[in-house]
Amino acid sequence: MYVAVKGGEQAIDAAHCWLADNRRGDRSIPVLRVDQIREQLRLAVDRVMTEGSLYDPELAALALKQSSGDPIEAVFLLRAYRSTLPRLYGTKPMESSDMSVRRRISASFKDLPGGQVLGPTYDYSHRLLDFTLLADAETDPNSADAGVQSAAMADETVEPCPKILELLNREGLIEAASAARPASDEPEVPGDLTRDPLSFPAPRDVRLQALARGDEGFLLALAYSTQRGYGRNHPFAGEIRSGDVAVEIVPEELGFPVVIGDIEVTECDMINQFSGDGTTKPRFTRGYGLVFGRSERKAMAMALVDRALRARELGEEAESPAQDEEFVLAHCDNLDASGFVSHLKLPHYVDFQSELVLLRRLRAEYEDRKAAQAAQAEADRTTYAGRQNKPDAVLTEPQS
Amino acid sequence: MSTMVSGLQDACTQSQQIFRHILGAMAEPGRTFDLENLEAPTGLNSAAWQACLALADLDTKVWIEPTLRTDASIEALRFHTGCPYTEQAAEADFAIVGPALSTPLSTFDQGSDEYPDRSCTLIVQLDSLAHGEPLRLEGPGIDTERSIAVDGIGAEWVAQWQSNRAAFPCGVDLILTAGHQLMALPRTTRLSLITESVSKEATCTSQ
Amino acid sequence: MSNDSALRESSPETRQRQRVISVLARADTPSLERYYSTLPQLPEFRFIRQPECGLALVRGRMGGTGDAFNVGEMTMTRCAVEDESGVRGFGYVSGRKRRHAELAAIFDLLLQLDPATHEAALIAPLEQAWLAQRDDESRRAAATKVNFMTMVRGESE
């Protein structure tokens, strides 16, 4: 347990001052503007928005600037800011089928309605450092890029892209996106772990919320573990799409939905191994990932882990870490995790002093015991030596 | 189309000021706090309206006693706070009631042993925070005892309040309002009638 | 904007209002500001809800088509105005954009008072601009459309 302490204000001020200076770096280099981060480090911005659980590219860029580029510190800043704003509405569920697609691929079907649209992807880049980026730092980007932009524009827009898994669903080859419910059910309000603390077993809506804001590294490692055999679920990337989706709210005073804007999201539908128990026809199962921006790796990892967490529901043995709901959900939030790890830096002087006292006592007791044993051994040796001269003495075990 | 009351001009600052007053009222049960004289929708007094503006939001269900309920107040409440309005007193997070106790205190959400904080908070609309039967308050936030005389809070309230106290840590909290004044009686406060014979003495010993 | 589910299954009047509010939400603030500066005079109105920043809890669907779940939140700003006869204008915009929300609310009010003028001068051009921008994005995406050739494995010509 940590204790409250006082003092150190001057030292803290000096540390913050130096931190700000460090953040600024060499003054001969122009200062980095927030809009530059927003526009040019957008995947970092996307990650901070996703894990910060707040879609606002400008604030995420600001958080990255303030945190010297530390994504978890930036997530912390964003979550803290979020807590100062009132929640005004819950949106209607976004309809990703209506997405203005920027990228849309399937690894399960070669030919599909709407086609394979690569979009702005790193997938086919050679991972060779591009030294022109180093050299071109001072050139005017507008002149060069305008040409590229018009050359890379097709005559037609992207055709409508139906959801691939729905095509499979029409044939009954895959389970429905979620369990069928009677239409008479009230409009559902999904569980919200920012209002009600996690409890186990958690329903899938709450699990998905936790995964959506979960740490990319942690989920990526868990997803990888399922592929390496720790809860294998035989995945295919059924469909990955990125693009803008309209966000609608239904204001009380209007009574009908209105679009408040479009946000960029990425979603991943995994097609996973069959289920079926003799009484039902075998069919594919699903895992789902949805994130802000273009955090595609995170969306894929989320889909794999979502599927792994459905093990029990689908009648599978749940023995691996990725299938252990409590293990995954309780540890996937990087703010929780870094908070608890970092708290070890808080003053634990009293706790530690008591441990020290205990340790010293134990060591003293150990020394005493050793000394007693040595004395006993010495005594025994003397006795034994004496006994050599008294053959009828009773031989006893030395006391421990 | 009827016109709508304006709500807070500076929501961030004003709602925090109102909240600070309510916090103070809860910390010092029985002490009267003056809020701004903000225009309220028909059916609500200014203090009750301001308490709603500061406390109610998207996640809190609000219920208004039928005798106080007006279309204007419900519309304004939903418009300015976004709160869901409920027809069920028992599921309200905030309930606006009069002094008549037409709905017994035990009807409202009492919270649970795990989450006693989730109980209902009653906003009681009264004619005045004075001119009532003399009552003695004791408990946390009160040095020894304090006396109040709130119009409409009498023997029946004291009786129901004792049952409310007995359910501790569960139970409801009260925000008493009249005009643009408010006072709070949290569930920790003990309430008793000061009978005629001892009332003089009680008044002398109270602050 | 025919794709938006908001514009389905409602009366023509409602659909027009939805379109107006959504077009105003998607516009950029400078365009709205420019239009504002061209207006000769505004009707008397008051704020019944000052421009206010807050959050919308963003929901998605399991598998894109199933039950809802909460993905995270987004910042948004809203504003409401009312004229002397009680007609109200509302603005709801994504992000922290007080002035945008304020102008959107004022224009929503104007659109109800004089639909023909502001539809032609404001809404239609804004909508066209937004659609054009979306089409450009889509044509850029279409330029990255591929036909993967499956190579036959383990065989030679």
Q: How do residues C40-82 score in pLDDT, each as one tens digit? A: 888 999 999 999 999 999 999 999 999 999 999 999 999 999 9
In 3D space, the residue among A278, A302, A276 whose CA is nearest the CA of residue A288 turns out to be A302
Confidence of residue A145 (pLDDT cuts 50, 70, 90): low
Name the token pair of C112: 């109800």
Length in residues, chain C: 157
Q: Which of C62, C135, C148 sits opposite A208 (nearest CB)?
A: C62
- Residue A42's contacts (CB-CB under 8 Å, 6 or more residues apart) are A57, A293, A294
- Residue C14's contacts (CB-CB under 8 Å, 6 or more residues apart) are A256
Q: How far apart are CA C87 and CA C45, in angstroms?
A: 9
List the pLDDT tens digit at each of the 207 positions of chain B.
467 888 888 888 999 999 999 999 999 999 999 999 999 999 999 999 999 999 999 999 999 999 999 999 999 999 999 999 999 999 999 999 999 999 999 999 999 999 999 999 999 999 999 999 999 999 999 999 999 999 999 999 999 999 999 999 999 999 999 999 999 999 999 999 987 555 444 444 444
| Residue recorded with tokens 């600037």 | A65
Give the helix/strand (H/E) hosting C118: helix C115-118
Q: Shortest Cα distance from A18 to chain C (angstroms)? A: 31
Q: How far apart are CA A159 and CA A142, in angstroms?
A: 30
Q: Shortest Cα distance from B58 to chain A (angstroms)? A: 6
Radius of gyration of chain A measured on its C-alpha atoms = 31
Instruction: Tell me B90's DSSP state.
Output: G
Give mean pLDDT, residues A347-372: 94
Find residue A263's DSSP bridge partners: A245
Q: Shortest Cα distance from B75 to chain C (angstroms)? A: 13
In 3D space, the residue among B135, B138, B156 whose CA is nearest the CA of residue B199 turns out to be B135
Q: Give the per-residue pLDDT at A394.
A: 52
- Chains touching A (3+ CB pairs < 8 Å): B, C
Confidence of residue A397 (pLDDT cuts 50, 70, 90): low
Helix A71-82 crosses helix A334-342 at what angle (to 10 degrees)? 110
Chain centroid offset of residue A151 CA? 38
Dihedral (C-alpha) B139, B145, B146, B149: value to the nearest 10 degrees?
90
Cβ proximity of C103 and C32 under 8 Å: yes
| Residue recorded with tokens 């989920």 | A219
Q: How far apart are CA A26 and CA B96, in angstroms?
A: 61
Q: Give the per-residue pLDDT at B199.
A: 46
Q: How far apart are CA B33 and CA B18, in angstroms?
A: 10
Record: contact B8-C48, CB cut-off 8 A: no
Say yes or no: B204 contacts chain A, CB-CB below 8 A. no
The angle subtended at Cα A259 by Cα A256 and Cα A262, nearest 5°, is 160
In 3D space, the residue among B40, B78, B9 whose CA is nearest the CA of residue B177 turns out to be B40
Record: contact B58-A252, CB cut-off 8 A: no
Q: Give the per-residue pLDDT at B196.
A: 57
> Does the structure show a pLDDT above 90 at A386?
no
Q: Shortest Cα distance from B57 to chain A (angstroms)? A: 8
- Chains touching C (3+ CB pairs < 8 Å): A, B
> Does the structure show a pLDDT above 60 at A142?
no
Chain centroid offset of residue C112 CA? 17
Record: contact B7-C48, CB cut-off 8 A: yes
Q: Give the per-residue pLDDT at C3.
A: 43
Q: Which of C49, C85, C87 sits opposite B7 (nearest CB)?
A: C49
| Residue B147 burial (CB count, 10 A) | 17
The angle subtended at Cα B74 by Cα B69 and Cα B78, nearest 5°, is 155
Coil, helix or strand for A123?
A: coil
Q: How do residues A14-57 score in pLDDT, each as one tens digit? A: 999 999 999 999 999 999 999 999 999 999 999 999 999 999 99
Please state, rounded to an integer, the average pLDDT across all residues of chain A.
Answer: 89
Cis-peptide into A201, omega within 30 deg: yes
In 3D space, the residue among A281, A279, A58 whose CA is nearest the CA of residue A172 turns out to be A281
Helix A334-342 crosses helix A216-227 at what angle (to 10 degrees)? 110
Question: B-chain residues within 8 Å CB-CB of C82?
Answer: 3-4
Cα dihedral A31, A34, A39, A45 sign: positive
Say yes or no: A83 contacts chain B, CB-CB below 8 A. no
Locate the chain C residue with the closest alpha carbon to B76.
C48
In 3D space, the residue among A117, A291, A140, A139 whose CA is nearest the CA of residue A213 turns out to be A291
Q: Which of A58, A152, A178 sits opposite C62 (nearest CB)?
A: A178
Record: contact A260-C147, CB cut-off 8 A: no
Question: A-chain residues within 8 Å CB-CB of C144?
Answer: 103, 117-120, 152
Q: Give the per-residue pLDDT at A322.
A: 96
In 3D space, the residue among A96, A75, A396 whose CA is nearest the CA of residue A213 turns out to be A75
Q: Give the per-residue pLDDT at B204.
A: 44
Cis-peptide into B169, omega within 30 deg: yes
> What is the CB-side half-sphere exposure of residue C74 using CA atoms within 13 A?
32
| Residue recorded with tokens 């008493």 | B176
Q: Give the per-residue pLDDT at B16.
A: 94
* Dihedral pair phi/psi, residue A6, rounded to 5°: -120, 165
Q: How far apart are CA B101 and CA B158, in angstroms?
A: 11
Q: How far apart are CA B25 and CA B150, in angstroms?
A: 15
Cβ proximity of C24 and C91 under 8 Å: yes
Q: How far apart are CA A326 and CA A328, in angstroms?
A: 6
Q: Extract the runs of DSSP E, i.e. beta strands, from A39-190.
A: 54-55, 87-90, 100-105, 116-117
Question: B-chain residues within 8 Å CB-CB of C88?
Answer: 1, 4
Say yes or no: C98 contacts chain B, CB-CB below 8 A. no
Length in residues, chain B: 207
| Residue recorded with tokens 């014979």 | B197
Q: How do residues A301-321 score in pLDDT, each as one tens digit? A: 999 999 999 998 888 888 999
Question: A-chain residues within 8 Å CB-CB of C78?
Answer: 88, 251
Record: contact B1-C46, CB cut-off 8 A: no
Give the helix/strand (H/E) hosting A264: strand A258-275
List the pLDDT tens digit at each of the 157 positions of chain C.
444 444 455 789 999 999 999 999 999 999 999 999 999 888 999 999 999 999 999 999 999 999 999 999 999 999 999 999 999 999 999 999 999 999 999 999 999 999 999 999 999 999 999 999 999 999 999 999 986 666 666 555 4
Of chain A, the percentage scoring pLDDT greater than 90 comes to 66
Record: contact A157-C147, CB cut-off 8 A: no
Question: B-chain residues within 8 Å CB-CB of C86?
Answer: 1-3
Record: contact A176-C58, CB cut-off 8 A: no
Cβ proximity of C104 and C32 under 8 Å: yes
pTM: 0.88
The residue among A81, A192, A252, A254 with the most chain B CBs within 10 A of its CB, best to mutate, is A252
Say yes or no: A86 contacts chain B, CB-CB below 8 A. yes
Record: contact C146-A118, CB cut-off 8 A: yes
Q: Give the per-residue pLDDT at B202.
A: 45
Q: How far apart are CA C98 and CA B6, in angstroms?
A: 17
Reported ipTM: 0.90
Q: How far apart are CA A93 and CA B117, in angstroms?
A: 31
Dihedral (C-alpha) C87, C49, C51, B96: value to the nearest 10 degrees?
-150
Chain centroid offset of residue C139 CA? 21
The residue among C24, C62, C88, C126 with the most chain A CBs within 10 A of its CB, best to mutate, is C62
Give mean pLDDT, residues A278-298: 92
Q: How far apart are CA A353 and CA A91, in angstroms?
A: 52
Dihedral (C-alpha) C113, C116, C118, C124: value to the nearest 10 degrees?
140
Q: How far apart are CA C60 and CA C64, in angstroms?
A: 7
Question: B-chain residues within 8 Å CB-CB of C87?
Answer: 1
Q: Give the per-residue pLDDT at A68.
A: 97
| Residue C87 burial (CB count, 10 A) | 16
> Does the structure show a pLDDT above 90 at A393?
no
Question: A-chain residues within 8 Å CB-CB of C147?
Answer: 111, 115-116
Q: What is the DSSP string of C2-62?
A: TT-GGGSSS-HHHHHHHHHHHHHHHS-HHHHHHHHHH-S-PPPEEEEEEEEEEEEEEEEEG
Give residue A47's identity as a one-letter amino acid code. Answer: R
Q: How far apart are CA A48 and CA C26, in angstroms?
A: 24
Q: How far apart are CA B69 and CA B71, in angstroms?
A: 7
Q: What is the DSSP string of A170-219?
A: HTT-B--SS----TTSPPP----TTTS---SSPPHHHHHHHHHTS-HHHH
| Residue recorded with tokens 């130096």 | A18
| Residue recorded with tokens 């030596």 | A385
> Does the structure show a pLDDT above 60 at A183?
no
In 3D space, the residue among B152, B142, B140 whose CA is nearest the CA of residue B206 turns out to be B142
Q: What is the DSSP string of B5-49?
A: ----SSHHHHHHHHHHHHHHHHHSTT--EE-------TTS-HHHH
> Does the structure show a pLDDT above 60 at A257?
yes
The residue among C44, C50, C84 with the most chain B CBs within 10 A of its CB, best to mutate, is C50
Q: Give the per-residue pLDDT at A178.
A: 81
Say yes or no: C52 contacts chain A, CB-CB below 8 A. yes
Q: How far apart are CA B152 and CA B42, in angstroms?
A: 21
